[in-house]
Amino acid sequence: MPPRSLLTGRTFMEFSIPAYCALIAAMGVLAYMSAKRRAMHVAAGTVTNEISRSFHSRPNFHGVFAAGLVTLLAFGVMIGGVIAGLPGWLVIALIVVLAGLAFAYTRTTIRANFKARNVVEFAIKSGLVICSTIAVLTTIGIVLSLLFESLRFFKDVPVLDFLTGLQWSPQTALREDQAGQSGAFGAVPVFAGTFLVMLVAISIAAPTGLMIAMYLSEYASKRTRSIVKPAIEILAGVPTVVYGYFALLTVGPTIRSFAESLGASVPTQSAIAAGSVMGVMIIPFISSLSDDVINAVPQSLRDGSYALGATRSETMIKVVFGGALPGIIGALLLAVSRAIGETMIVVMAAGRAANLTANPFEAVTTVTVQIVALLTGDTEFDTAKTLSAFALGLVLFVITLILNVIALIIVRRYRERYD
Amino acid sequence: MTENTSKNIKFTCRDVRVSYSGKEAVKGIDIEIADRSVTAFIGPSGCGKSSFLRVFNRMNDTIPGCAVTGDIRMDGEDIYAPGLDPVLLRARVGMVFQKPNPFPKSIYDNVAYGPRIHGLAESKADLDEIVHNSLKRAGLWDEVKDRLKDSGTGLSGGQQQRLVIARAIAVSPEVILMDEPASALDPIATAKLEVLIEELKEKFCIVIVTHSMAQAARISQKTAFFHMGDLVEYDETDQIFTNPAELRTQDYIMGRTG
């Protein structure tokens, strides 16, 4: 019968990890204070008039060194003990003994020539490097998984057929195992649909966003700006699924009934319905980023233009806009890559049929919609159908990556000019 | 009567006050500024000389919360009259700023900017001529004639400042205001600029704000000393620097205040 807590009635093991952590933290604090005091004491007794023989590291660093060594070791013991399923009393005993040994070792390092500062600085640097490595490794991992699954897909379907084929119907290919398989994985209609929706979105968002940015930065009073700018940025915070049903339930039917009153027939799900709502969604990206770069144009340029007798709009169009143009292009490219990767709105409002069309009033499908369609539900990851999702994802990733890189290069070049 | 005072009066100011959000920076100044000469405004930082300079082309209008009162006449015409468009005024009163501010455009387009917006050139040849003459008068033509298509921001600081002067000259103003034009320049560029100002005064009324008393003494005919928003003393430059009437002027010139 394991001992139970008097308070909660649980066994010691059940609340042991927080308890171990508290113990380790307490030992760390003690080690820090003790080592620091000891170091101050030692330092007081060493020579100070010779650099090579004087006390190297400040007492803080000896404290941090001791605390770091003790807690790291104790933490390792704790993890090992918990994984091995050792009883609580044994884990605690191990922690105390080993941490005690570590502490005893740090005692011997408190002397003039021990470079505790260098050790601590190295540890801090290593911690930072490890954190950034995690982010980079994750990205590499994502790319590699996309790449390997795509390679499996391209064993079945030639790359060229995938990139140039005009027919996309993975469901048919699955049923009629042999016939028409290569023809069914032509990605052109899917990318054409993505491109069409993106074009609709950008043609709505770019002019609106730019004019908002010009108004906010050049014409609006401080008060107006302080209200309008956050209000527009709220648009960016609306969950995309909300935009999705707005497109599906409001915009789509409105366009359809308007078209019917003109005698035309437009499906509820169409490129224009999804694209226009997506356009509204990316307005704040363009307006906020452009507003920032327009504001970064130095006031002295505006003064120079006004002093030549230019009006506000002449100054805006010929001097400020020109100066901010690289940054604005960067903002547009970021918005485009956002539009291409957007999923929820198009899943709900663009349709699923892979039509190869340039008419925005028809239903189209996009890369993201197809990926969702291919991978939702019960799927086996060994058919060409499901693997094609990875190929789509890979191409999409490459496109948005290129757009982002171009945008970043343009924005950076712009920054250099005024700093 | 000396040579300078015999010249025509360009600006007449009576009780000019400038305030920013109710805080008065220029406190009732009366002054007359002569045409075709250099008038220098000197005084310690925050004395109101730059604020006062911006009265003459109504650049203060672009600053929120800034109010200008008083009577300011250019060639007898009230430049703060309700119907007067500051945009038209600024075409006649050019300005050069402390930090060179060429537009991020080519050298040619920088100079052509003003003539284009005011429709001063009938043809490309006209415009070419305006650009050529302006750069020449600003003493920059020989240095840039082979690279008019290069960006104006790629020039050195002194060249940029002369480019900005060429840009101001290109709209054929009558007055050029200069707000510490040499404070960001090295001594050689400053010397070139001073030679240029010397030449420009033959055709323009020049008002210059400067922190350098030696510069004021070298290039100006009349000097006004400002302190705490007041015009303390205004006289021939020689007089101000050799025999100031006011103790405050003398203290400033000798480096005892400011």
| pLDDT score at A89 | 81
Q: Mutation target for B interface from A308, A318, A417, A418: give the one with most B CBs within 10 A.
A: A308
Handedness of CA B161, B163, B164, B169 (dihedral sign): positive
Residue by residue, pLDDT tens for chain A (419 residues) are: 555 656 555 555 555 788 888 989 999 999 999 999 998 888 888 777 777 778 888 889 999 999 999 999 999 998 888 888 777 788 888 889 999 999 999 988 888 888 889 999 999 999 999 999 999 999 899 999 999 989 988 888 888 888 888 888 776 544 445 444 444 788 888 999 999 999 999 999 999 999 999 999 989 988 999 999 999 988 888 998 999 989 989 999 999 999 899 888 888 888 899 999 999 999 999 999 899 889 888 889 999 999 999 998 999 999 998 888 888 888 898 899 889 988 889 888 888 778 888 888 888 888 898 888 888 876 677 777 888 888 999 999 999 889 888 888 887 776 655 54
User: Is the model's pLDDT at B6 over the cut of 80?
Assistant: no
SS3 call for A4: strand
Write the CA distances from B25 to B1, B60, B68, B69, B142, integer angstroms. Answer: 33, 12, 10, 12, 42
For residues B122-145, average pLDDT: 92
Domain span at residue A267 reads 163-418
A22's CB contacts (< 8 A; 6+ apart) are: none
Task: Please say whether the beta carbons of A200 and A276 come within 8 A.
Answer: yes
Cross-strand bridge partners of residue B29: B16
CA atoms of B193 and B201, how far apart (whole Å): 12
pLDDT single digits (tens) B199-251 = 999 999 999 999 888 999 999 999 999 999 999 999 999 999 999 999 999 98
Determine the topology of domain B9-253 in CATH.
Answer: Rossmann fold (3.40.50)
Facing B103 at nearest CB: one of A222, A301, A311: A301
pLDDT single digits (tens) B12-24 = 999 999 999 989 9
Q: Which residue has the tokens 């009162």?
A: B69
How many CB pairs below 8 Å do chains A and B form together? 69
Task: Please say whether the beta carbons of A94 and A77 come within 8 A.
Answer: yes
CA atoms in the 13 A half-sphere facing the CB of A67: 19
CB atoms within 10 A of CB A167: 18
Q: Is residue A339 part of a domain?
A: yes
Looking at the structure, tell me whether residues A261 and A377 fall in a common domain: yes
Looking at the structure, tell me whether residues A214 and A338 fall in a common domain: yes
Task: Please say whether the beta carbons of B205 and B33 come within 8 A.
Answer: yes
> How far apart, in Å, do the first and last CA atoms of chain B sit?
32
Residue of B nearest to A414 (CA): B104
CA A404 to chain centre: 12
CA atoms of B40 and B217, how far apart (whole Å): 9
Q: Which of B203, B208, B153, B239 is nearest to B43 (CA)?
A: B208
Burial environment of residue A6 by CB neighbours within 10 A (0 to 12, 13 to 18, 19 or more): exposed
- The DSSP line for chain B is --TTTTSPEEEEEEEEEEEETTEEEEEEEEEEEESSSEEEEE-STTSSHHHHHTTTTTGGGGSTTEEEEEEEEETTEETT-TT--HHHHHHHEEEE-SS----SSBHHHHHHHHHHHTT--SSHHHHHHHHHHHHHHTT-HHHHTT-TTSBGGGS-HHHHHHHHHHHHHTT--SEEEEESTTTTS-HHHHHHHHHHHHHHTTTSEEEEE-S-HHHHHHH-SEEEEEETTEEEEEEEHHHHHHS-SSHHHHHHHTTS--
CB contact under 8 A, A304 and B97: yes
pLDDT single digits (tens) B47-60 = 899 999 999 999 99
Q: CATH number of the domain that A351 lies in? A: 1.10.3720.10
Average pLDDT, chain B: 90
CB atoms within 10 A of CB A139: 10
ipTM for the whole complex: 0.89
R_g over Cα of chain A: 32
CA distance B2 to chain A (A): 33
CA distance B253 to chain A (A): 30
Which chain A residues have a beta carbon less than 8 Å from that of B64?
221-222
Which chain B residues have a beta carbon less than 8 Å from that of A300?
97, 99, 101
A315's CB contacts (< 8 A; 6+ apart) are: A302, A305, A306
| pLDDT score at B194 | 93
Per-residue tokens: B70: 């008083």
Per-residue tokens: A277: 């709502």
Looking at the structure, tell me whether residues A251 and A363 fall in a common domain: yes
| pLDDT score at B141 | 93
- The DSSP line for B12-77 is EEEEEEEEETTEEEEEEEEEEEESSSEEEEE-STTSSHHHHHTTTTTGGGGSTTEEEEEEEEETTE
Q: Which of B97, B99, B81, B79 is nearest to B89 (CA)?
A: B79
Handedness of CA B228, B229, B232, B235 (dihedral sign): positive
Q: Vertex B134, ends B129 and B138: CA angle to 5°?
A: 150
For residues B93-97, average pLDDT: 94
| pLDDT score at B2 | 43
CB contact under 8 A, A323 and B89: no
CB atoms within 10 A of CB B20: 14
Model confidence band, residue B1 (pLDDT cutoffs 50, 70, 90): very low
Task: Please say whether the beta carbons of B206 and B197 come within 8 A.
Answer: yes
CA atoms of B150 and A326, how far apart (whole Å): 18
Q: Is residue A200 part of a domain?
A: yes
Which 8-state DSSP code applies to residue A185? B
CA atoms of A324 and A417, how far apart (whole Å): 11
Task: Please say whether the beta carbons of A110 and A35 come within 8 A.
Answer: yes
CA atoms of A293 and A18, how far apart (whole Å): 49
CA distance A310 to chain B (A): 6
Which chain A residues have a beta carbon less than 8 Å from that of B117?
308-310, 314, 318
| pLDDT score at B124 | 94
List the B9-20 sheet strands across, edge first: B23-34, B9-20, B66-74, B77-78
Sketch the domain layout of chain B as residue ranges: 9-253
Per-residue tokens: B3: 């040579």
| pLDDT score at B238 | 92
Q: Which residue has the tokens 């005892």?
A: B256
SS3 call for A168: strand
CA atoms of B104 and A319, how far apart (whole Å): 8
Which chain A residues have a beta carbon less than 8 Å from that of B165?
none
Looking at the structure, tell me whether residues A234 and A358 fall in a common domain: yes
CA distance A309 to chain B (A): 5
CA distance B170 to chain A (A): 9
CA atoms of A374 and A185, how far apart (whole Å): 12
Task: Please say whether the beta carbons of B9 and B33 come within 8 A.
Answer: yes
Looking at the structure, tell me whether residues A259 and A325 fall in a common domain: yes
CB contact under 8 A, B90 and A303: no
Which chain A residues have a beta carbon less than 8 Å from that of B62?
302-303, 306
Q: Which of B135, B142, B90, B88 is nearest to B110 (CA)?
A: B135
How many domains does chain A fold into? 2
Which chain B residues have a beta carbon less than 8 Å from that of A308?
90-91, 94, 113-114, 117, 167-168, 171
CA atoms of B43 and A39, how far apart (whole Å): 58
User: Is the model's pLDDT at B179 over the cut of 60?
Assistant: yes
Handedness of CA A245, A248, A254, A257 (dihedral sign): negative
Task: Please say whether the beta carbons of B139 and B169 come within 8 A.
Answer: no
> Considering chain B, what percentage of its residues have pLDDT values greater than 90?
71
SS3 call for A11: strand
CB contact under 8 A, A308 and B91: yes
| pLDDT score at A379 | 67
Q: φ, ψ for residue A159 (rounded to 5)?
A: -55, -45
Task: Please say whether the beta carbons of B249 and B232 come within 8 A.
Answer: yes
Looking at the structure, tell me whether residues A342 and A246 fall in a common domain: yes
| pLDDT score at A5 | 56
pLDDT single digits (tens) A222-268 = 899 999 999 998 888 899 899 998 998 999 999 999 989 988 888 88
> Considering chain B, what percentage of its residues have pLDDT values greater than 70?
97
